[in-house]
Copies of this chain bind each other. A is one copy, B any other.
Amino acid sequence: MEISENKLINRIKKFEDKSSNVLRGIGDDGAVIKLSQGSYVLVQDAMVEHVHFKFSFVDPYNVGKKAVYVNISDTLSMGALPLYFLVTIGITPALTSKDITRLYSGMRQAAREFGAIMIGGDTTESKNDFFIDISMIGKLITRTYLGRDKAREGDLIAVTGPLGESAFGLSLFLEGRPIKGMSRFAKRYASPKPPYVVWKEIVKHDITRSMMDISDGLLIDLGRMMTESRKGAVIHLERLPIPPLLRKENKEILALSGGEDYQLLFTFPRSKLEKVQRIIARGHPISTIGEVIRGKGVKVLSRGNTYEAPVKGYEHFGDSR
């Protein structure tokens, strides 16, 4: 960084959208907002260079977009509409002020798609690892929050779109394959936009009990939901929305264990199946992939037989599952 902290903050201020409910935004010890009475969702999610991404694969603009998207994804999956967010960045010496401008530009673009407004945060140095950490507040619009702990026995399990796209996109970068004709996968990896339109349908029609976003892979995340709900799950490999190209290249496993799709995973009572089918008939991409059972763990069936996935998904730190 070749400019001072004061200058940087002045530059960042230009990316702040206005709202009459923001009494004080960027440039003070904290932001001040007016809130009505109600239930609010607070999320916080970070992306770290060398761990979550490399700048050689994803440019600062898309890193900014993705950092906002993953927080919007968490907010939506609890049943809330995003309102405001704060951003901390740890800037390494390798980054220029232009990189930072592109980063904030990406953040603003992603936030505007969902009506969220940046109101503050922190800028600091980091010696080796760039990081971006966003906290977001949203207002709950569902009757009760949509948690991981609300799945019930007999619920059907569904997802909001194709699985494995992001992991396949990452593999293109890792293998140095041409992106041409595959930009859909590269984009899902570099800036996974949450499935807002179908989320609104699900929420409007009061479909779901339990919901979460798929960040570490279907098997791990569904496993977490079942653990929190004290239930088990059975899913059917044939019903997973796997892009044809992944089947062709024998990479179906990415639909089970590939991370960062940021599709929504949810359960709903059988009594709502007709409603769900009507939503699907209107062109919304929902796939019913299995059901919640008594017991624990996630069982995958392929043509009725138990399928053992060779890789479960992505977890940070020592793997002692």
Q: Which residues from B are CB-within-8-Å of A44?
A: 86-88, 120-122, 133, 135
Q: How large is the interface on A (under 10, 10 to 19, 20 to 34, 35 or more residues)?
A: 35 or more
Q: In the complex the two chains form, what is the Cα distance from A33 to B294 in whole Å?
A: 30
Verify if A304 is at the interface (C-beta below 8 Å from B): no
Contact with A42, one of B50, B86, B140, B315 (Cβ below 8 angstroms)? B86
Select the residue from A42, A75, A224 with max chain B CB neighbours within 10 A.
Answer: A42
Verify if A155 is at the interface (C-beta below 8 Å from B): no
Cβ-based interface call for A37 (8 A): yes
Inter-chain CA distance A148–B24, complex, in Å, is 10
Q: Which of A112-141 contact B (CB under 8 A)?
A: 119-129, 131, 133, 135, 137-138, 140
- Produce 1/0 per residue, A183-206, CB < 8 A to B: 000000000000000000000000
Which residues of A from 1 to 28 have beta carbons under 8 Å from B? 1-8, 23-24, 27-28
Check if A125 sits within 8 Å of B28, measured CB to CB: no
- By CB atoms of chain B within 10 A, which of A24, A73, A213, A320 has the most? A24
A316 part of interface (Cβ distance < 8 Å):
yes
Please give the distance in Å from A29's CB to the nearest CB on chain B: 4
Q: Counting CB contacts under 8 A, is A84 at the interface?
A: yes
Q: Is A306 an interface residue (CB 8 A)?
A: no
Closest to A2 in B: B318
Q: Report yes or no: B33 in contact with A119, Cβ–Cβ below 8 A.
A: no
Q: Taking the complex as formed, is A149 at the interface, i.e. its CB lies under 8 A from any CB of chain B? A: yes
- Report how far A78 CA is from B315 CA in the complex, Å: 39
Assess whether A120 is in contact with B78, with CB atoms less than 8 Å apart: no
Look across to chain B and name the residue whose beta carbon is closest to the beta carbon of A216: B5
Given A135-B135, A318-B4, are A40 and B46 neighbors across the interface (CB < 8 Å)?
Answer: no
Contact B50 A127 (CB under 8 A): yes
Q: Is the CB of B39 within 8 A of A34?
A: yes
Q: Give the copy number.
A: 2
CB of A305 within 8 Å of the partner chain:
no
Q: Say yes or no: is A263 at the interface (Cβ < 8 Å to chain B).
A: no
The answer to the question of A280 belonging to the interface, with a C-beta cut-off of 8 Å to chain B, is no
A40 touches B35 (CB 8 A): yes
Asked if A32 and B41 sit within 8 Å, CB to CB, the answer is: yes
Q: In A301-321, which residues have CB < 8 Å from any B CB?
A: 315-321
User: What residues on B are CB-neighbors of A23 within 8 Å?
Assistant: 39, 145
List, in ascending order, chain B residues with CB within 8 A of A129's CB.
90, 126-129
Binary per-residue interface labels of chain A (222-260) against chain B in the complex, 1 for a CB within 8 Å, 0 otherwise: 001000100000000000000000000000000000000
With both chains docked as a complex, state the minimum distance between the C-beta of A80 and any C-beta of chain B, in angstroms: 7
Rank and list the top 8 A-B pairs by shortest CB-CB distance, nearest first. A135-B135, A30-B43, A128-B128, A44-B86, A29-B74, A1-B317, A133-B133, A30-B41
- Further contacts, 6 of them, CB under 8 A, given A44-B133, A44-B135: A4-B317, A6-B224, A30-B41, A30-B80, A51-B127, A129-B129
